Amino acid sequence: MTTRSERKKLLTPRIAGALLLAAALTACSTVEPGSPSASSDQESGTAQSPTTRSSSGSGGTTTGDVDSCEVLTSVAGQNDLREIKKDSITDNTCFAKTSKRETVHLTIYPDLSLEQYQANSLTEMSDTTVGSRPAKKAKKAVAQLDCVIAIEISPTSRADVFAYSINSLDEACAKAEALAKAVEPSLPKG
């Protein structure tokens, strides 16, 4: 029988490995250099704010305009989110922690569809919905105690809600599902 300190020694490298792998997986997107600024519409000569650029004439926010940290911050209170911070590798990902020692992150993929979600050989995949949007649930997406809910934003874009719990896979999936439901209304309609 292993003692609590022995389990902690065994779990610490696993946790670190899972978090590093999660960071590496989220780093596989293209980031445009520079900072956003208003641009002029050459035909009408009007400027458009980068956070309200229209998408195919829909007049809504485009996927690339969604700030994952703003979205997490907007739902932080009802989801026990703390220490919300932008990923140092990509602007598309934002990390947070909870009081239950869960780690979560939201990643916006403006150029990767729901169908392009890549699972590993141990991942347990299932189709689901979040609000009215098609989604995929990936149990054990990176490690034994994590869960991802990938939500379709448009036919060519998605948002991934990742949760890791030191306690159980069920707890990680419950957190990912609750957070996915909370952030879904903030995602652009594709």
- For residue 152, the domain's CATH number is 3.40.1000
Q: Specify the pLDDT at position 91.
A: 82
For the chain, helix, strand, coil in percent to 5 are 30, 30, 40
Q: Residue type for 17, please? A: G
Kindly report which listed range (8-17, 34-43, 103-112, 174-183) carries the lowest average pLDDT score: 34-43
Residue 74 placed within a domain: yes
Q: How many domains does the chain have?
A: 1
Answer whether residue 43 is part of any domain: no
Residue 55 domain flag: no
Has residue 33 been placed in a domain?
no
Q: How many CA atoms lie within 13 A of 131 on its CB side?
A: 16
Which domain does 100 fall in, by range? 4-28+62-186
Assessment of whether the complete model's pTM goes beyond 0.75? no
For residue 19, pLDDT beyond 50? no
Question: Collapsing DSSP states into helix, strand and coil, what is residue 68?
Answer: helix
Residue 122 lies in a domain: yes
The number of angstroms, rounded, from the C-alpha of 183 to the middle of its chain's C-alpha atoms is: 10
- The reported pLDDT for the residue numbered 66 is 82
Cβ proximity of 36 and 49 under 8 Å? no
Angle at alpha carbon of residue 71, lines to 142 and 185, rounded to 5°: 95
pLDDT of residue 61: 57
Q: What is the pLDDT of residues 90-123, one digit of tens each?
A: 889 999 999 999 999 999 999 999 999 999 999 9
Q: What is the average per-residue pLDDT within 15-39?
A: 41
Establish if 40 belongs to a structural domain. Answer: no
